[in-house]
Amino acid sequence: MHRYTVRVRYADTDQMGVAYHANYLRWFEVGRAELLRSLGTSYREVEASGLALPVVEARCRYLRPARYDDLLAIETAVARLGRASVTFAYRIVREPDGDLLAHGTTEHCFLDHEGRPSRPPAALAELLARAPRATPGP
């Protein structure tokens, strides 16, 4: 899986110093964007080509809390590449102890510039096919 690290900021937490649950979805987005960047493209370039990748489903299983100042590794991989969709898998791991804090998926459809489902351009499909693949389970 592709790894990218972030630190839990004070603004990410509630009064108890625990990361607010919606931040995990934000971290999933960071992992997804950095995975694409590591493959040689960016969300900006994908969108500039006339393609959008809206989220159609998001899942997150919370196992342990992330807390203020924790260093987190966002692990991201492609779980499934369909004709007009892609599913990414994520793991949020606390560094350096390696505790798995959460795992989840996001499913995206490819939409053309008119908002219709579309196959991804060949170059993007090839990039995603080269991406790290998720293994079953958390």
* Exposed/middle/buried for residue 85 (C-beta within 10 Å: 0-12, 13-18, 19+): middle
What pLDDT tens digit does each residue of the chain (138 aa) get?
Answer: 999 999 999 999 999 999 999 999 999 999 999 999 999 999 899 888 889 999 999 999 999 999 999 999 999 999 999 999 999 999 999 998 999 999 999 999 999 989 999 999 888 999 999 999 997 666
- Choosing from 14, 97, 99, 112, the catalytic residue is 14
Let me know if 14 is a catalytic residue: yes
- What class, spelled out in words, does domain 2-130 have in CATH? alpha beta
Q: What is the pTM of this model?
A: 0.93
